[in-house]
Each structure stands twice: as C-alpha cells, then as structure tokens.
C-alpha cells in the first residue's frame, strides 16, 4: 500500500490556538497543573531522598487517596471529611507497607525495590477494581467552589482556582514540617547522611516509617483534592506516576525544592506546548527531561550520589 | 505427542493433499487423510466442529481505559450464547434455524482480557485457536484491535466479528474476507448526525473538535468535519488532539475556550470521553457550547450524569427506549435487564446482534465450514435485527443498518434513572454508506 | 558457569528445546504460548547481558524491540521486500544502530537517571511510531500481513507456517541466541561487564574503558531486542504497535526478575511463568478481570522471597548442596604460612624506550582546592625508578587526595604530573593505569559478587588487552598468559587456596591482600598503596610487609601508612605531609629524629610516632 494513502487518513496532529490571550491562559493553567504535580512529586522525592527507595506504587497511592475520599464522601457528604479520610488512609497504607514490605528491602538492590513497589502498585489498582469496578466515580467540589470564575483574562473553574491555593498550603505545610520541626531536621539530615542520623542514636526505622507515611500522605491528599477535577478510576494513578517521575528527575532526585520547581516547569511545558500543537504536549515533557539530564547530571537541584 | 501437535501436522498434510492447493504443497509426501475434495481442512475446520460443543472466543478489555465497555460487550455475547443454547425466542426470531444449539452443537464462549491492546488480543485469540479450536472469534472496543484481529482472522482462516469499532478502516482499507462488522462507524455516524445538526442549527457555525490521537479518532473527525464543511459551510476552528489515556484536559480546553467555537465535537472515547466531557463542563464550555458526540460511548451518561448530557447530540447504534417501537429490542432489553440488573447499551446490543447474525448464517449454511458461512453472509439477504431489517454488504462485509440520533434529556424529564437519551431520529443505513470501494476495501481470499 | 565442561549448557539447552514440544503441551502450554516464550526469552538474553551482567537497568528496551520489528515488517509488507530472514536481520542491525545512538546519550548518566532517560527515549519512540511515522508504521494499527519465513534449499522448500514449524524456526534462533550470549558472557568482555556491575569505579581504575563496554552491552541488548521484534512480527503475521509501549519494557523487566537476572535463562523462565499463569488464571480459573490482581500478588511474593529469581534460587540450592558436601570433606585450610617469598612477582610493565633510571614520577606545584578549602597546596614531589617511598602525615594531611591526583582520579586545581617522561595531568584514571600507574585503595574496592580468580583476571585483562577491545566471542581462557598471571598473583598474595571463593566470603585480611593483588595484577611500573596495612593484625602485617618487599623488585612503589615501624622498615625515603604541604623529606632515620615531624605529630591530633 503506498504510504500516501495513510497520510491522507491521518489528519495530522491537530491544531493549536496561537494568540496572546491563549498564551496567558495557558501559562496560568500550567501553574495549576504544575502545582498538583509538584505536590505528588514532593511525596515521591522525600521518600526517595530519605529512604533511598523509589516508590513505583506512588501512583497507586494517589489513586487510593481518591477512592478512600470518595467512599467517605458517599457516607458523610462532606468534602472536608473526604480529604481528611483520604489522606489519613493513605498514610496508614504507607506506614503498613513500609513496616511489612519496604523495610526488608533497604539492604537489597535498587532494582528489587523498584520491582516490589511496582508489583504492589498493581495489587492496589486491581484490588480497587475488584471492589469498585472500572466505572469512573465523581466527588463533587464543596458547594461554594462549584462553577466558574472570571479572572479577567480568562474564565476558570472555581474549584481549580481553589486547588491552586489548597496545594500551595499543602506544600507550605510540608515545607514547614521539613524545615522547621525536629522531625524535619532528622529527615533532612537523613537525606544528607543516613549513617550520621543512625549514629546520633535516633531510631532511623521509626523515622523511615514516618517519612514513608508522610510521602504517601502527600500522594493520597493530592488524590482526593484532585478527584473533583479528574474523576477517579482504578487506572488514574498510572499516567500520573510517569509524569511524577519526570518531575522528580527534572528537579533532581531527592530534592524537595527541586520537586516543586520541576512540577511547575512540567506544568508549563505541557500547557504551552498544547497551545502550539496539542499532540506534542506529553512528548515535550520527555524531551525536556532528557535535555535537563544531558546538561545537568543530577537534575536542576539534585546532589551527586543520590541516584 | 499432544493433540495440538498432531492436528498441526494434519492440517498441513490435508492441505497439500488437496488438488486445489498446489501452491502450498511443498512438503515431502506422506499418507494423509483427505476430508472431502471440495472442503479441505481450513483454519480450525473441521477439528473445531467435530465434538458436541463448538467454542467461540472474545478478547475484550477488562482492565485499562476501556474496561467498562469491554465488560458490557462481554455480557452481550454471554446472553447471545445462552439464547443460542436454549433456543430463546428472540434468538429464533433472528436466526430461525437455531434450535437449542447450533447445528446440534452447544456453543461455548471463552474470553480473555485484551487490555485494549492489539498484541494481547492477537495473543489470546491465538491461544484459543490452538487450545480450544475456536470456530469464531470476536472482541474489540477500539479499531486498532479490530484491524489487528481482522488481519489475524484472514491469516488463520477463522471468522471474526468486530466488537465496537468506529474506524472507517475496519470495513474499509483494512477489510478482510473473514471479518464482519455489525455496528455503525465514523462515516455513517457523520452522515447521520450531520443533517440533524444542520437542520437544528443552520449553516456557517464554528466547531472545535476533540480528537483522540489514533486512527479511529482521526477518521471520525475527518468524516464529520468533511460533512459539515461541505454541506453546511461549518468551520473547524481548532482540533485538539490528545493521547489515549489523558487525565487532565485543561490545556486542550483552554485552547478551545480561546478559539471562539460555538460547538464542541468530542470524538474521545471510553474514559477519555468521560474526563474530557466532565472537564469541559468545569471550564464552563458546557452548556455555553453545544456538545456533539458523533460516536456515542456506552455508559457515558451514567458516568458523567444528566447535568452534562442534557441537550447533547449523539449518534449511536441503539438506545434502549427504542423498545417501544421495536418488539425485538423490547425482548432484548428485558432479557438483558433480567440477567444483569441494568438496561443494555449499544456495546452489548452489537455483541448480541452480531452473534445472532452469525448463528443465522451458520444455521442457514448448514455448516461451520468458513467459506460456506462467508458466502451465506455475502448473499446479502435481508435479515432481522433489533432495529428492523438489515443486510450485510458483500463488497466490504459491513452491515447496512440504521444509525440512531439521540439527544440528552434533562434530569427532570427522565422517567427512570437510565432514561438519559431521547431518540430524535432513526436514519436508515442505506443512504449513509460510502460507495463500497471508496475506502479501498479488498476482501482477499476465501481459503 | 560450567568451567569444566564448556559446552554442557549449550547441550542441555539444545536438548530442552528438542524435548519442549513433547513435554510442555501436556503441562497445558499451547504451541503459540511456547513460541511467545521463546521470543521473550531471546529478547531477554540481550536484556540480561545489559541488566544482569552489566547492572544497567533499562526501561527502554521496547524502543529497540519495536524498531527492529517495525523495520523488518515495513520491508516485508509496505516495501514488498521478499526475504523474511534478511529483513529480520536488517531490522536487528537497525535496532543496533539506534541502540548505539541512544546509548551515547543515555549512558552519560547512571542509576535512576539512566533508567529515566531510557523511559523517556522509549516514550519518544512510541510517539514517533504513533504519530509522525504512522505513514510507515501503520500508527495504532501496526503492520499486518507480515509473511512467514520460507527457505528454498534447492532440493526442498522449508516453510514455517504452522505453530510447530514456527517453533522449530524460533527454537533454532533461540539456540543461536543463547550460544552467542554464552560466548559473550564467557569472553573477556563478559568478565569486564560483570566488573562494571559490581564496581564501575574500580573497573575503570584497572584500565578498562567502561563507557565503551557499557555501550557495547547496550548495543548487544538492542540487537537482541530488534531481532526478537522481527521474530514476533513474522510469528504472528502482524507487527503490533504495543511493542513500543512502556508495558513491553515493564513486562520484560518483571519476567527477568521472576526468572532471575544474570543467569541468561532467567528471562525465558520468567516468561514461561508469566505467560503460563496469565493463561491459567484467565482460561482455566476464569478469574475475569481479577486475573491481574492474583498475578500481581504472585509477583510481589516472588520478589519478596526469591531474591535472585527462580533460576537464582535453583542455583543457590545447588550451591548449598555442594558446599555442604565440600565443608564436610575438606575444611578450609587456614594457612597462615607466608609463602609469598617463594613466588616471583610479575615483572613490571616495560614500554619500549622507557628510561629505567632517573625520576619515574614528578609532580610540580600540585594543588587541589575543594571550594575554598585547599586539600593540597603547591606540592613538589619526585620519585626515582626502583624507589620505595613512604608518605606519612597526620590525619587530614591530604595524603589520600594527593594519591588521587597522582592516579588521575581527581583533577588537580593547579600543577603538573609527569609520569615516565609524559605529562599525565588531566588524563583519566583508565589511561594512567594503561601506562602502568595504579593504586590499591584504602577502602577495599573489589568485585564482591565474583570469585577471587575473576577479580584477578579482570585486573590482569587491563594489561593484556588494552583499555578497549571487542573480543566478544573469544573465550577468556584462551587469553595468552592470563591464567599464569592470575595464579602467580594469587600465590604472591597468598590466596591460591581461595581462588574460586566469592569475594563476599573472604575474611577481612584476605580482602586486603586481594586489594593489593588487584593492583599488582595490572603489572604496574609504579604502584601506589594507600594504607595497605590498615586494619591488619600484627601477624598479618608481618606477612604483608614481606609481600611488599617481594613485589618491590624492579618496581617503583609509594606507600601511605600509619604503621611507621613497618613503613620505615620497607622504604628508603619518606615524605611527610602536613596540612596539604610537604613538611619534610628524608630517610627513615632522618625523619625519626626530625624536630618538625615530632612537633607535627605530637602537636597534632594523633601521636602516632612510635
């Protein structure tokens, strides 16, 4: 079959909308997309930074947060309760997972850690499918946040606007915990040098368990606050996981500020590429990551020896 | 030596023994069994239909983005097989010669998860051919799988009935002698919904398209856009192409918000359609713009709710409220609801009807011998379906069947919790079809 | 692997491939499943060389699998090229070329960053297949209509168009694949690949161009992947676009992990288990969508409990049974007798035209600053041919940094190093080792998962083969003089009885001796020893001093150590460093009585002058 027949059928790669109004809109939208990515990624990165474990079940944690929240919502009709329950449930899952499985993998090769967390991710996703099916479920945003807001340069869903604030508060809280509390000091010291923390007589295992819990909670929290935007389904975490990894790598593995900056950069790349050519938005993210890595061996803010 | 091993050799020996297959007869001569001069062994014939049971197999997504539609399709096939084996009156209405089984044999349905991936689907079907000697296969919720199985069917000489497949290619340039499609597709959807849109809204409108980035999406978008521009002078102001499995459509919707469109024509499918539609609502694009869904997605309304689907135009294969006009549809909806506890959507309808048609063809031909069954289809006889009489076109194996245009009901107008759509029009199939050779269909050989 | 009977593995593989069609169907395997297992197994051979042997975890193998298969399928369908086998080979070559280009980028990074680049590249390839190249690849429809292979041998025509004939075709190629893979693994390159996995730093310090070898492994894996992709296309008559998907890479990694990495057969066994269970759960148990949940649980359990996969577990059981027998038969002889003196050390490397008198190494103005901190400043240092030089200094005097600059592990901030009349400043550690300058490390840098023999071989190979050589198919045992050099070095460091013991099972003293042995096996003309006596018992020290004396003949050595009694006994001249500068230089006798040295040590943190 001549190649030209196929080209006619493939209408090409779609078309962008290139004008200044759209550019400003897309930049703003990139900020919102990026903020959420930053939150999920920071959970992944502090776990990796402290424990040296790359948690491939992180996407599933995000998904579990959404489902735990949704179940709570269906019983209580309260969005706040859903957020609290979603976060705490995933934190619990994280702690239990660390205690039962991950702990036995600290001394094993990195590849084993990847494999076991990958496997656990599948188990989480399929367990949810087993109980709740594949149909999408929706958690509506709290009443005052329904509808749209006119920002002047664009109209924007009110809840997504609020989400920007919610995520910012969550990131600040995480920052506060990491940089202003004793436990945060220990965690950050652990990122620098886990042997040192050990020698200070701190029970590293307890710290590890807590860090895993906090990291998982960040994903779970993101999962439930995102549920009114992207309705939940068992596979919701899979796509997020890959993007999260890109963010973490761009920012530098193990770096909390790196994850935040990486998230925002990723959000802007996706949005602005879409303006020019929607079909290339996801792939540009990977191209950008590869470029960053070729130019900066440890990502934007990473340190040597953390990979 | 195993059963499989033996039959593998026999098939070839039988092949070379027959005079009609000199080209394939390259191996050293061995004593062989000759079946019948005019019907040499082919595919799984006759091994697959020698026992009391014939096997058929479905490869459907049970996990992944299309799992919802896949599970529903599977139910349609299950019900059809049950009706064949029990000689249910609905089945007998479509295939009169079915009598508690097909040609005196019980039909058994096997299934496997394809995760909507062509390779997995081919892999599963290949295993079923080997292990279970299936006489027919089915399954697909996406055209990539349908096209892959089409070609695979032709190679293995096993009949294939497409599941949900909206691409023009399935009975167009990728058509095969061994493949048949019952349901509507991009071209007919466009030709059916186009006039309704022009009638309702007039000429010279601006439309934004959301297209999933694969052939189904591109062909449907092209068909719809071609119709609207050629006949109504509509303009495509933007075409937002997104990869399969996108979660956040905000960037695409931002583009659309800034494009000046009056209509949002959403070609996304499965979960992609659910998410893009919900988010279009969040962004205030709906109900500001009128949403059109040229290729309707089963369960979309159930998942996104009537708030969103109210006033939405869609083309579909079947909607359950048609039971009021069509007695067979009523029987089907009742039987399905009794068994599964909800009313079927068109994925299950397509499954059921395509199986019933196959049962009819096999029973009329009086044989499972694939070329006989194919030739029965190719007679192009007028046969019943749930929506009146239809026939298969011999040139491309597409069923000429009506396309149903529906509009979303407001919540207050719904008579029950599944009464999402109101049927506007049932457009007869004949006028919607392209010319048989327009999409480059070459069916290929019988043997 | 099977040192005594070299072709045993091949023989068993051939036998197993012959028997499989008669046995496996009774266990519930359909012929098409068996064929798929073979393709996964072949795909996995290359991946195991990359991951199991070289330690590079790539999540991007789908890119090469897809590229090879798609290229072959394109030739056979759209381009109308009639030769199936040739197309598959061309596809594999194209995959290899693509692998080379991708490797150039991806191998710039290690660990997770490497893995992520491979993911990114695979995603880009998938996108390219789906979008810009869909005119050639069929986009999401893939390329159907790929013919099966036919060979006209003149007297008969071989057709592989049924499942079992296809099996013979695939089994043949799997066999070819395993034979080649075994040769690669048993070649000098194979040994160096496993060295890179265990300790890339030391592998390069022993004179191997590890980047070149990693790239080699990457290309080999890409060729295997491309070839397997082509086989997939012809086996099912259809080249699927999903071959490019991340899931393909993921499944390969999982199957390899289940089967056992670093065993070559792991991917095949893993694929067998994976495909069998997914068939079994779906078609026999009829689990519906739950099949994936059950398979996920099985996978997690396998990873948790079988550390080295199924093949690894079998191997462990076998070893356990064997070592039980061994232990009762011959308890490990704890020979503390120093036999070192009886063995002649390897001669130092002599290059043509190299001088044998005068200074062998001259450093001038050597300075190293880390940020604002100067570890070494303005050191002038010269060592003559045949000299034994000691370097002492309190902790933090900059001795190790100084050594690292001399061996070119770190680049000096200022200054110049001349070795045998050649300016080596700014050269890499690998090149310097090739010139005959190497170091034994203060903290052991060994290849822990390999035997003592392997360790020494890897060191010796640096000298015999140069820094990069593609002798992929040469048996390591046919490298001339290698065995001799290994055995002599082992005798010298008194490890002859431990030659076939994995390093991880050695005692600390033995590891220290091996550490020196590794440096020695490269036949250096200038050997630097960073605290060779550290952590040794007094009797071990005596032994090691004797060893060092014996290897000093015809060789120049520089030794750092805190054990001054031993050091003063060995060396002819001592350089004292303090706070990154040369404090004083002189004979041991002069140093002992030097007032500045006394002060440095007594005033310093550690009073280590005996």
pLDDT tens digits, one per residue of A159-182: 999 999 999 999 999 999 888 888
Q: Is residue C332 part of a domain?
A: no
Strand stretches in C371-436, DSSP E: 373-384, 388-392, 414-419, 422-423
Closest Cβ–Cβ partner in A1, A136, A274 for B251:
A274
Distance from CA of A209 to the nearest CA of C (A): 19
Spatial separation of the C-alpha atoms in residues A257 and A261, rounded to whole Å:
6
Distance from CA of C402 to the nearest CA of B (A): 55
Whether B47-181+324-401 shares its CATH topology with B187-316+404-431 is answered yes
Q: Are strands C422-423 and C414-419 parallel, antiparallel or unpaired?
A: antiparallel
CB contact under 8 A, B26 and C159: yes
Average pLDDT over residues C4-25: 88
With a pLDDT cut of 90, the percent of chain C lying above it is: 50
pLDDT tier at A293 (50, 70, 90 boundaries)? confident
Is the pLDDT at C574 greater than 80? The verdict is: yes
Is the pLDDT at A31 greater than 70? The verdict is: yes
Is the pLDDT at C339 greater than 50? The verdict is: no
Average pLDDT over residues C247-268: 92
Same domain, C108 and C193: yes
Write down the pLDDT at residue B245.
Answer: 81
pLDDT tier at B3 (50, 70, 90 boundaries)? very low
Q: Is residue A156 part of a domain?
A: yes
Spatial separation of the C-alpha atoms in residues C37 and C170, rounded to whole Å:
10
Average pLDDT over residues B232-240: 93
Write the burial class of residue B206 (CB in 10 Å: 0-12 exposed, 13-18 middle, 19+ buried).
Answer: middle
Is the pLDDT at C338 greater than 80? The verdict is: no
Q: Is residue A81 part of a domain?
A: yes
Residues C399-439: tens digit of each pLDDT: 889 999 999 988 999 999 999 888 999 898 999 999 999 99
Average pLDDT over residues C196-222: 95
Pick from C232, C76, C145, C147: which is nearest to B175 by CA? C145
Map tokens 């035209």 to a residue.
Answer: C353
Mean pLDDT of chain C: 88
Write down the pLDDT at residue A202.
Answer: 66
Q: Is residue C350 part of a domain?
A: no
Structural domain of C263: 32-319
C19, C25, C32, C233: best to mutate for the B interface, most B CBs within 10 A: C32
CB contact under 8 A, B250 and A32: yes
Average pLDDT over residues B253-264: 90
Spatial separation of the C-alpha atoms in residues B29 and C511, rounded to whole Å:
68
Spatial separation of the C-alpha atoms in residues C2 and B136, rounded to whole Å:
50
Q: Is residue A258 part of a domain?
A: no
* Interface subset of C 20-39, CB within 8 angstroms of B: 21-22, 25-26, 30-33, 36
Is the pLDDT at C248 greater than 70? The verdict is: yes
Average pLDDT over residues B406-410: 95
User: Which chain A residues are Cβ-neighbours of B287 within 8 angstroms?
Assistant: none
Pick from C345, C360, C346, C349: which is nearest to C546 by CA? C345
Average pLDDT over residues B241-267: 89
Is the pLDDT at B413 greater than 50? The verdict is: yes
Same domain, C155 and C289: yes
User: Which chain B residues are Cβ-neighbours of A230 within 8 angstroms?
Assistant: 247-248, 275, 279
Distance from CA of A175 to the nearest CA of C (A): 25
A51: which 2 tokens? 């424990």
Spatial separation of the C-alpha atoms in residues B184 and B192, rounded to whole Å:
10
With a pLDDT cut of 90, the percent of chain B lying above it is: 71
Judged by average pLDDT, the poorest of A194-198, A213-217, B55-59, C398-402 is: A194-198
CB contact under 8 A, B4 and C288: no
Q: Is residue C13 part of a domain?
A: no
Write down the pLDDT at residue C144.
Answer: 85
Query: Given C474, C491, C523, which residue is the final one in a domain?
Result: C523
Domain count, chain A: 1
Q: Is residue A250 part of a domain?
A: no
- Whichever domain contains C37, its CATH number is 1.10.3470
Average pLDDT over residues C236-254: 90
Q: Is residue C26 part of a domain?
A: no
Phi-psi bin for C411: left (phi > 0), alpha (psi -120 to 50), beta? beta
Same domain, C519 and C529: no
Q: What is the DSSP secondary structure assignment for residue C52, as one 8-state letter?
A: I
CB contact under 8 A, B241 and A5: no
Same domain, C156 and C187: yes
* Interface subset of A 128-167, CB within 8 angstroms of C: 129-130, 134
Q: Is residue A126 part of a domain?
A: yes
Domain count, chain C: 3
Q: Is residue C21 part of a domain?
A: no
pLDDT tier at B443 (50, 70, 90 boundaries)? very high
* Phi, psi for residue C558 in degrees, rounded to 5: -125, 130
Give me the interface pTM, i.e. the ipTM. Answer: 0.88
Query: Cβ(B292)–Cβ(B193) under 8 Å?
Result: yes
Is residue B45 within a helix (H) or strand (E), and if so which, with residue range?
Answer: none
Judged by average pLDDT, the poorest of A196-205, C71-80, C116-125, C321-330 is: C321-330
Distance from CA of B400 to the nearest CA of A (A): 23
User: Which chain C residues are Cβ-neighbours of A4 within 8 angstroms?
Assistant: 135
Mean pLDDT of chain B: 88
Same domain, C313 and C265: yes
**Does C131 touch chain B if contact means CB atoms closer than 8 Å?**
yes
Alpha-carbon torsion (B49, B50, B52, B53), positive or negative: negative
Spatial separation of the C-alpha atoms in residues C519 and C348, rounded to whole Å:
12
User: Which chain B residues are Cβ-neighbours of C245 within 8 angstroms?
Assistant: 117
Alpha-carbon torsion (C545, C548, C553, C559), positive or negative: negative
Domain-wise residue ranges, chain B: 1-32, 47-181+324-401, 187-316+404-431
A302: which 2 tokens? 């990473």
Write down the pLDDT at residue A21.
Answer: 78
Spatial separation of the C-alpha atoms in residues A287 and B406, rounded to whole Å:
43
Q: How crowded is residue C426: how many other Cβ atoms within 10 Å of its Cβ? A: 10
In this predicted model, which residue has the larger pLDDT, B193 or B66?
B193
**Does C277 touch chain A if contact means CB atoms closer than 8 Å?**
no
Spatial separation of the C-alpha atoms in residues B265 and B256, rounded to whole Å:
11
pLDDT tier at A279 (50, 70, 90 boundaries)? confident
Write down the pLDDT at residue C610.
Answer: 41
CB contact under 8 A, A289 and C138: no
Query: Cβ(C573)–Cβ(C582) under 8 Å?
Result: no
Spatial separation of the C-alpha atoms in residues C124 and C127, rounded to whole Å:
5
Instruction: Show which subunits contact B, needing at least 3 CB pairs below 8 angstroms.
Output: A, C
Same domain, C88 and C170: yes
Is the pLDDT at B33 greater than 50? The verdict is: no
Spatial separation of the C-alpha atoms in residues B386 and A276, rounded to whole Å:
46
Write down the pLDDT at residue C227.
Answer: 98
Domain B187-316+404-431 has CATH 3.40.50.2020: no
Write down the pLDDT at residue A195.
Answer: 60
Residues B147-162: tens digit of each pLDDT: 999 999 998 999 999 9
Spatial separation of the C-alpha atoms in residues B436 and B438, rounded to whole Å:
6
Structural domain of A166: 32-235
Q: Distance between alpha carbon A137 and the CA centroid of its chain, in Å?
A: 20
Same domain, C173 and C250: yes
Same domain, C115 and C262: yes
Is the pLDDT at B11 greater than 90? The verdict is: no
Write down the pLDDT at residue C554.
Answer: 77
pLDDT tier at A192 (50, 70, 90 boundaries)? low
Average pLDDT over residues A88-101: 95
Q: Are strands B159-161 and A155-157 parallel, antiparallel or unpaired?
A: unpaired
Distance from CA of A177 to the nearest CA of B (A): 30
For residue C148, what is the nearest residue in chain B, using CA coordinates?
Answer: B155
Which CATH code for domain B47-181+324-401?
A: 3.40.50.2300
Is the pLDDT at A189 greater than 80? The verdict is: no
Judged by average pLDDT, the poorest of B16-20, B106-110, C279-283, C561-565 is: B16-20
Distance from CA of B183 to the nearest CA of A (A): 21
Helices (H), chain A: 3-9, 20-51, 58-76, 79-100, 110-132, 158-180, 182-192, 194-199, 204-226, 236-251, 256-276, 281-295
Pick from C505, C501, C494, C553: which is nearest to C527 by CA? C553
Q: What is the DSSP secondary structure assignment for residue B412, as one 8-state letter?
A: G
Q: Is residue A291 part of a domain?
A: no
Q: Is residue A284 part of a domain?
A: no
CB contact under 8 A, C242 and B119: yes
Range ranked top by mean pLDDT from A57-71, B2-16, C160-174, C567-581: A57-71
Is the pLDDT at C442 greater than 80? The verdict is: yes
């Amino acid at each position: 079959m001549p190649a030209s027949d196929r080209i006619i059928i493939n209408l090409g790669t779609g078309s962008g909308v290139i004008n200044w109004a759209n550019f400003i809109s897309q930049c703003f939208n990139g900020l919102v997309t990026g903020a959420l990515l930053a939150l999920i990624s920071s959970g992944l990165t502090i776990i990796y930074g402290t424990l040296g474990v790359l948690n491939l079940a992180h996407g599933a944690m995000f998904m579990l947060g959404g489902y735990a929240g949704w179940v709570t919502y269906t019983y209580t009709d309260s969005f706040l309760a859903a957020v609290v329950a979603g976060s705490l449930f995933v934190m619990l899952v994280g702690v239990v997972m660390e205690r039962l499985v991950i702990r036995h993998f600290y001394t094993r090769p990195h590849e084993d850690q990847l494999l076991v967390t990958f496997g656990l991710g599948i188990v989480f996703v399929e367990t949810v499918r087993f109980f709740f099916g594949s149909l999408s479920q929706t958690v509506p945003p709290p009443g005052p946040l329904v509808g749209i807001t006119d920002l002047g340069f664009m109209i924007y869903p009110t809840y997504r606007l609020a989400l920007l604030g919610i995520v910012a508060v969550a990131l600040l809280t995480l920052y506060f915990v990491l940089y202003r509390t004793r436990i945060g000091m220990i965690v950050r010291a652990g990122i620098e040098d886990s042997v040192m923390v050990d020698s200070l007589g701190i029970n590293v295992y307890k710290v590890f368990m807590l860090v895993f819990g906090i990291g998982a909670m960040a994903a779970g929290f993101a999962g439930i606050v995102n549920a009114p935007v992207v309705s939940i389904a068992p596979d919701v975490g899979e796509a997020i996981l890959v993007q999260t990894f890109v963010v973490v790598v761009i920012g530098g593995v193990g770096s909390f500020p790196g994850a935040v900056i990486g998230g925002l950069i990723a959000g802007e790349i996706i949005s602005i590429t879409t303006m020019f050519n929607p079909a290339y938005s996801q792939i540009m993210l990977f191209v950008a990551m590869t470029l960053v890595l070729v130019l900066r061996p440890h990502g934007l803010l990473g340190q040597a020896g953390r990979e | 030596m195993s059963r499989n091993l033996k039959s593998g050799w026999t098939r070839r020996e039988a092949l070379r023994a027959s005079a009609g297959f000199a080209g394939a007869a390259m191996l050293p001569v061995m004593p062989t069994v000759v079946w019948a001069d005019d019907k040499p062994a082919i595919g799984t014939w006759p091994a697959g239909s020698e026992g009391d049971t014939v096997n058929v197999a479905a490869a459907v997504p049970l996990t992944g983005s299309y799992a919802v539609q896949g599970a529903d399709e599977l139910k349609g096939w299950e019900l059809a097989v049950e009706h064949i084996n029990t000689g249910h009156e609905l089945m007998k209405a479509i295939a009169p010669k079915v009598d508690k089984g097909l040609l005196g044999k019980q039909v058994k349905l096997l299934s496997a998860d394809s995760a909507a991936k062509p390779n997995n689907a081919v892999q599963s079907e290949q295993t079923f051919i080997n292990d279970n000697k299936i006489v027919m296969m089915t399954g697909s919720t996406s055209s990539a799988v349908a096209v892959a199985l089409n070609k695979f069917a032709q190679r293995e000489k096993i009949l294939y009935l497409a599941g949900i497949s909206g691409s023009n290619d399935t009975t167009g340039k990728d058509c095969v002698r061994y493949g048949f499609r019952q349901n509507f597709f991009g071209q007919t959807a466009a030709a059916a919904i186009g006039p309704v849109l022009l009638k309702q809204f007039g000429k010279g409108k601006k439309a934004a398209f959301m297209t999933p980035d694969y052939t189904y999406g591109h062909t449907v978008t092209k068909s719809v856009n071609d119709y609207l521009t050629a006949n109504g002078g509509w303009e495509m102001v933007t075409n937002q192409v997104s990869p399969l499995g996108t979660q956040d459509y905000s960037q695409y919707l931002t583009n659309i918000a800034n494009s000046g469109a009056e209509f949002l024509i959403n070609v996304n499918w499965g979960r992609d359609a659910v998410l893009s539609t919900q988010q279009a609502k969040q962004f205030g694009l709906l109900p500001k713009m009128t949403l059109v869904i040229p290729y309707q997605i089963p369960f979309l309304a159930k998942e996104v709710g009537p708030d969103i689907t109210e006033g939405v135009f869609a083309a579909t294969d079947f909607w359950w409220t048609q039971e009021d006009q069509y007695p067979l549809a009523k029987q089907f909806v009742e039987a399905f609801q009794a068994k599964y506890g909800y009313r079927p959507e068109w994925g299950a309808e397509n499954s059921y009807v395509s199986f019933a048609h196959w049962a009819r063809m096999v029973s009329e031909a009086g044989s499972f011998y694939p070329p006989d069954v194919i030739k029965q289809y190719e007679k192009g006889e007028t046969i019943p379906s749930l929506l009146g009489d239809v026939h298969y076109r011999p040139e491309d194996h597409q069923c000429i069947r009506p396309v149903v245009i529906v509009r979303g009901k407001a919540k207050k107008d719904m008579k029950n919790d599944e009464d999402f759509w109101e049927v506007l029009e049932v457009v007869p199939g004949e006028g919607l079809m392209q010319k048989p050779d327009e999409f480059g269909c070459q069916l290929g050989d019988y043997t | 692997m099977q040192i005594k009977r070299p072709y045993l593995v091949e023989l068993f593989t051939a036998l197993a491939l012959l028997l499989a069609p008669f046995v496996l169907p009774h266990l519930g395997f359909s012929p098409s499943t068996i064929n798929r297992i073979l393709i996964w197994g072949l795909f996995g051979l290359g991946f195991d060389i990359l991951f199991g042997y070289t330690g590079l975890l790539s999540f991007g193998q789908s890119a090469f699998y897809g590229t090879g298969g798609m290229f072959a399928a394109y030739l056979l369908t759209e381009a109308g090229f009639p030769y199936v086998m040739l197309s598959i080979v061309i596809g594999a070559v194209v995959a290899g070329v693509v692998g080379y280009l991708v490797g150039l980028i991806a191998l710039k990074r290690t660990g997770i960053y490497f893995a992520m680049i491979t993911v990114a590249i695979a995603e880009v390839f998938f996108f390219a297949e789906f979008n810009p190249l869909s005119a050639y690849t069929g986009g999401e429809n893939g390329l159907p209509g790929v013919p099966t292979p036919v060979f006209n041998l003149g007297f008969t025509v071989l057709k592989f168009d049924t499942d079992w004939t296809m099996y013979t075709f695939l089994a043949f190629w799997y066999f070819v694949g395993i034979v080649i893979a075994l040769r690669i693994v048993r070649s000098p390159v194979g040994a160096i690949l496993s060295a890179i996995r265990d300790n890339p730093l030391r592998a390069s310090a022993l004179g191997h161009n590890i980047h070149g070898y990693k790239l080699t492994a990457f290309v080999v894996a890409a060729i295997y992947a491309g070839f397997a992709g082509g086989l997939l296309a012809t086996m099912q008559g259809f080249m699927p676009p999903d071959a490019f998907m991340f899931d393909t890479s993921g499944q390969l990694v999982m199957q390899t992990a289940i089967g056992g990495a670093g065993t070559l057969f792991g991917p095949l066994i893993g694929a067998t288990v994976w495909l069998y269970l997914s068939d079994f759960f779906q078609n026999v148990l009829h689990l519906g969508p739950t099949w994936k949940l059950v398979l996920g649980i099985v996978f997690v359990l396998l990873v948790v409990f079988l550390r080295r996969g199924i093949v690894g577990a079998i191997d462990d059981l076998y070893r356990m049974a064997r070592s039980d027998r061994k232990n009762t038969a011959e308890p490990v002889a704890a020979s503390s007798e120093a036999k070192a003196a009886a063995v002649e050390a390897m001669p130092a490397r002599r290059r043509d035209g190299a001088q044998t008198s005068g200074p062998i190494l001259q450093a001038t103005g050597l300075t190293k600053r880390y940020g604002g901190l100067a570890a070494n400043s303005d050191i002038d240092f010269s060592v003559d041919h045949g000299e034994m030089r000691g370097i002492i200094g309190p902790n933090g005097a900059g001795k190790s940094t100084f050594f690292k600059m001399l061996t070119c592990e770190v680049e000096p901030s200022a200054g110049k190093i001349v070795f045998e009349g050649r300016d080596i400043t700014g050269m890499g550690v690998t090149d310097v080792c090739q010139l005959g300058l190497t170091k034994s490390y203060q903290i052991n840098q060994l290849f822990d998962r390999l035997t003592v023999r392997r360790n020494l071989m890897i060191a010796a190979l640096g000298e015999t083969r140069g820094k990069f050589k593609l002798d992929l198919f040469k048996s390591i045992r046919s490298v001339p003089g290698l065995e001799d050099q290994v055995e002599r070095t082992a005798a010298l460091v008194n490890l002859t009885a431990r030659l076939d013991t994995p390093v991880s099972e050695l005692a600390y003293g033995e590891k220290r001796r091996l550490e020196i042995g590794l440096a020695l096996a490269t036949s250096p003309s200038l050997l630097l020893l960073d605290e060779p006596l550290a952590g040794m018992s007094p009797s071990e020290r005596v032994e090691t001093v004797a060893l060092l004396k014996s290897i000093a003949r015809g060789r120049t050595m520089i030794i750092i150590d805190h054990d001054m009694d031993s050091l003063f006994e060995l060396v002819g001249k001592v350089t004292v460093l303090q706070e990154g500068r040369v404090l004083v230089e002189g004979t041991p006798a002069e140093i002992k009585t030097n007032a500045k040295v006394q002060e440095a040590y007594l005033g310093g943190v550690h009073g280590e002058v005996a």
